Amino acid sequence: MGDWKKTACILCELNCGIEVLAQDGEIKKVRGDKAHPASKGYVCQKASRLNHYHTGRDRVTSPLRRTKDGDFEEISWDTAITEIASKLGAVKDQYGGDKIFYYGGGGQGNHLPGAYSRATLAAFGAKYKSTAIAQEKTGEIFVNSLMLGNGTRGDFEHSEVSIFIGKNPWQSHGIPRARVLLREIHKDSKRKMIVIDPRVSETAELADYHLAVKPGTDAWLIAALLGALVQQDGIDQDWVRENTVGLDEIMPFIASIPVAEFAEISGIELETIKEVSRVIANADSVAVFEDLGVQMNRHSTLVSYLEKLIWALTGNFGKKGAQFVPTQMGPVATFKVTPQLKSPVVGAPIISGLVPCNVISEEILTDHPDRYRAMIIESGNPVHSVADSKRMREALRSLECVVVIDIAMTETAREADYILPTANQFEKAEATFFNFEFPENYFHLRHPVFDPPANVLPEPEIHARLVEAAGVLPEGLVDKLRSRQKFGRLAFGAAFQKAMRSAPGLMNLAPVILYRTIGETLPAGLKSASVLWGSANFALAKFGEGVKRAVKPGISLTPNEVVFDKILNSPSGFVFSKDDYEESFDRIRTADGKINLVIPTLLDELESLKQGYQALTNDEFPLVLAAGERRSFTANTIYRNPEWRRKDLEGALRINQADASALGLATGDKAQLVTHAGSAKVVVEVSERMPQGNVSLPNGQGIAYPTDNGESKVTGTSTNELTGTHLRDFIAGTPWHKHVPARLEAIG
């Protein structure tokens, strides 16, 4: 009859706990897991279709090697690992290991590959890497690094005022039980919601204040809000003097903001801006979430800065309902700016260790001696997801060796020299590190639900084999550590720490060493969790008190073992830290432990806003295309079978009635969408949500998928066939995907 098994949804970073009815190797039903500490039984409409992920027809089930004519042939794992190690080794010997570029390491639901890949990178001397985070969050990370030396999130569960800037949690979530929470806030007359979005998003419909900003002018709007805040005495002077540095330095910049003029540029009434800034100033608590609408847009890093100045100047940090610094099980990002760290060819700033996605193809398609020569791509689909797919394809084909580790024949896999197939997220132990709850945070190690196909391997095994083939593990080390395990994990831990100290750089291989040692002692199916023994150490070292409060130390076990045991034995996830709101103050990592308000380059950029707004649109490209809207039926490229969508099969281009009428277009018509970078056929949907001049395409479409008779069919429009790499932020290099100049032509 099948069994209900606990796991998590893998379609967005929340990874709601779910139970699936597993029968005949398929997911027959999905329901929320009430025992999950954050989602508490909540799921959205996307999760019920997870069988489409699990049973995808374009699954890769054997290692594949590219043939001369561009096809793929099946090869054995031994051949694959030997040849890849030899090719990467050759690149390392001839040009240096730093010419091997790594992309990915995790999607919405899986972050263990990233943890293990560290060992492979070290084994081959690879240094440069990137992930999708370098096309969304690196601007915000840059600002957080300079202001706090740490990351921040908002406590929307308790905030009196919730602000969403370029964020539509109704569809995209990002906060647990988003729809329940948004409705609660909407109904509660004491709580206020402010949404900044040019479009009437589902979230905007629930807002007390919907500021329908003119696309791309958020910097002016938020500057105006700040200006109005100062003019109306909205700054919490005492708090700011006590907890921040630099107020006197930034004050002239803010006091001189021409609020009325900036309001006009942003398209929002001056009176509304004044009122909203009063609401913020008078609130007991304010939480803010900025996302892709501004992070993939003009002046994105500046917007992140201005957004943070709003909550910092009103004292909304380190208290209930405000911003906080999360407790974590592992380092998701690094918050230290090292200006001398630059990408080798373009010289783009490396933020949080990541090369901006938008420069990758430029770093390859050049005769520069430092260009990348090989690439490992794992759990990412950059041909589809990075700006300018054409150039990304060309870049991959020009490399000496491209290795793709994925479950499916993706747009990126098609350009690979080797495809290494891996167990999917219901066939292995997996975990996510994107848990940011506060004051109680949780962690969830999922147990496998199904057996994987016979000839695929989980990523940790692939990395272990690559590291072994590279011949970098010290002779006898693994055997020696294994022999210590019979004396218990405490003895093992001591021997392991000692070994790690014995040779510089050995720590980088630790994930694979743990996998080959502790891994062999773990319950069936949980071998991939080995690296989490290290994560438990990390959490205790960094957040010891909070972790010990949540996970009571046992009598005979060390705290580390208690935490690790909890990880292994909590199939619904568990609360691993309990903190006080005030603890966020201790996590400020600036030199003086206070929030730094001054970022000179961004103050200069703020000043430059006074020169006015320069539109990118013109007669040739009169529309602003938002390329990649999250909708009810989008989930990056995790679902590849288009049939998972109950509605909007083609992923329609949404357009305002007036714009559509001017072109003689109606819902259901086909049209040609043209940008600087390319053109594509789209299906049009006239939508009251869209403002005039703005059109919007969903993300994750335009995927090739085999039909019943085996032919490959593309459904919908892939946004990055239309984007170029040069529209990007001058600091973080993040793309302006939400602001692509475009024109639409009716097809006669």
Ligand X SMILES: Nc1nc2c(c(=O)[nH]1)N[C@H]1C(S)=C(S)[C@@H](COP(=O)(O)OP(=O)(O)OC[C@H]3O[C@@H](n4cnc5c(=O)[nH]c(N)nc54)[C@H](O)[C@@H]3O)O[C@H]1N2
Asked if 294 touches ligand X (CB under 6 A), the answer is: yes
Q: What 3-state class would DSSP assign to 103?
A: strand
Give CA–CA dist 212/574, Å, rounded.
Answer: 40
Q: How far apart are CA 227 and CA 277, in angstroms?
A: 9
Strand spans (E) along 615-660: 623-629, 653-655
Closest separation in Å from C-beta 623 to ligand X: 12
Helical axes 112-124 vs 77-95, angle rounded to 10°: 50
Radius of gyration of the chain (CA): 25
Count CB atoms within 10 A of the CB of residue 533: 24
Window 141-170: contact mask with ligand X (x via CB under 6 A): ------------------------xxxx--
Per CB under 6 A, 216 contacts ligand X: yes
Range 225-284, binding ligand X (CB under 6 A): none
For ligand SF4, the closer of residues 9 and 551 by Cβ is: 9
Select the binding partner of residue 199 from ligand SF4, ligand X, none (C-beta < 5 to 8 A, by kind): ligand X
| Per-residue CA distances from 498 to 123, 468, 503, 608 (Å) | 20, 21, 10, 55
**CB of 185 vs ligand SF4, minimal distance in Å:** 17
CB of 603 to ligand X, least distance (A): 22
Paired tokens of 703: 């995927």
Per rule CB under 6 A, is residue 636 in the interface with ligand X? yes
Binders of ligand X among 11-40, rule CB under 6 A? 12
Among 88, 196, 395, 567, binds ligand X (CB under 6 A): 196
| Among ligand SF4, ligand X, none, partner that 38 touches (CB below 5 to 8 angstroms by kind) | none
The whole-angstrom separation of Cα 121 and Cα 127 is 7
Q: Which residues 336-375 are close enough to bind ligand X by CB under 6 A?
A: none
136 touches ligand X by CB under 6 A? yes
* Binder among 80, 325, 359, 405 for ligand X (CB under 6 A): 405
Residues with Cβ < 8 Å from 369, sequence gap 6 or more? none
Q: Among residues 700, 716, 724, 741, which is the contact residue for ligand X, using CB under 6 A?
A: 700
Query: Cα(204)–Cα(194) distance, rounded to whole angstroms?
Result: 8
Among 517, 723, 725, 734, binds ligand X (CB under 6 A): 723
Of 131-139, 274-282, 441-449, 659-667, which segment contacts ligand X by CB under 6 A? Answer: 131-139
**Of ligand X, ligand SF4, none, which one sits near residue 719, judging by CB under 5 to 8 A according to partner kind?**
ligand X
Q: Is 738 in the site for ligand X (CB under 6 A)?
A: yes
DSSP conformation class of 610: G
52 binds, among ligand X, ligand SF4, none (CB under 5 to 8 A by kind): none
Show the tokens assigned to 576: 């691993």
Q: 3-class SS at 220?
A: helix
CB nearer to ligand X: give 117 or 285. Answer: 117
What phi, psi does 438 have (nearest 5°)? -160, 145
577 in contact with ligand X (CB under 6 A): no
Q: Is 291 in the site for ligand X (CB under 6 A)?
A: yes
Asked if 173 is part of the footprint of ligand X (rule: CB under 6 A), the reply reads yes
From the list ligand SF4, ligand X, none, partner contacted by residue 113 (C-beta under 5 to 8 A by kind):
ligand X
* Residue 726 buriedness (CB in 10 A; 0-12 / 13-18 / 19+): middle
Residues that bind ligand SF4 (CB under 6 A): 9, 11-12, 14-16, 43-44, 46-47, 173
Work out what residue 16 binds among ligand SF4, ligand X, none; the CB cut-off runs from 5 to 8 Å by kind. Answer: ligand SF4
Should residue 685 be labelled a site residue for ligand X when binding is judged by CB under 6 A?
no
User: In the beta sheet, which residues pair with residue 22?
Assistant: 3, 27
Q: Which DSSP symbol is given to 257?
A: -
Torsion of CA 2, 6, 10, 12, to 10 degrees: 130
Tokens found for residue 278: 């009063």
Pick the stretch among 178-186, 476-484, 628-636, 680-688 that binds ligand X (CB under 6 A): 628-636
Contact status, residue 209 vs residue 261, Cβ threshold 8 Å: no
Contact pattern for ligand X over residues 458 through 477, marking x by CB under 6 A: -x------------------
User: Contact, 601 vs 730, CB < 8 A?
Assistant: no
Exposed e or buried b for every residue in 464-485, given b needs 16+ CB within 10 A?
Answer: bbbbbbbebbeeebbeebeebb
Interaction of residue 83 with ligand X, rule CB under 6 A? no
Residues lying near ligand X in the complex (CB under 6 A): 12, 107-108, 110, 113, 132, 135-136, 165-168, 171-173, 196-199, 201, 213, 215-216, 218, 291-294, 296-297, 378-382, 385, 405-408, 410, 422, 424-425, 459, 626-630, 634-638, 699-700, 719-720, 723, 737-738
